[in-house]
Amino acid sequence: MSEYVDISGSSNLDEGHMKVITIGEREILLARIRNKIYAMDNICPHMKGRLSHGLLVGTILVCPKHGTQFDLKDGRVLRWTEWTGAKQVLGKIVSFPRALTMYNVISEGGKVLVEV
């Protein structure tokens, strides 16, 4: 069962920046793009890299460990690794491309809430 958690105090992000917060046992990464806050798991679903150490370009988040590109609008994989050849094939065998877990964020009455 999901619930909405007030993250208003944690949501003061500058445009184009990211910030990690903890909700329960989850590391949630917040990103502000075009005045919208996106919330997602901070740990990459492939090689467990910390996405907060990655590169944010518009709504595209690049994993620092293997270069996978995620679209923060829906979490889907835009590009599976920056690897080529045998390394890319082996990477898909070990850990196939998976979408990033995204969390609903709503602004309501001056509060910012994330659904976890």
The total of other beta-carbon atoms located within 10 Å of residue 16's CB is 12
Range of the domain at 108: 4-115
pTM score, whole prediction: 0.85
Angle at 28 between CA 24 and CA 30, to 5 degrees: 140
Rounded to whole angstroms, the Cα distance separating 16 from 58 reads 7
Burial label for 103, CB within 10 Å (0-12, 13-18, 19+), is buried
Residue type, 1: M
Q: Report phi then psi at 93, rounded to 5.
A: -70, -45
Number of folded domains in the chain? 1
pLDDT band at 46 (very low <50, low <70, confident <90, very high): confident
Rounded to whole angstroms, the Cα distance separating 16 from 37 reads 10
pLDDT in tens, 50-87: 999 999 999 999 999 888 999 999 999 998 776 666 76
What CATH number does the domain containing 68 carry? 2.102.10.10
Give the per-residue pLDDT at 82.
64
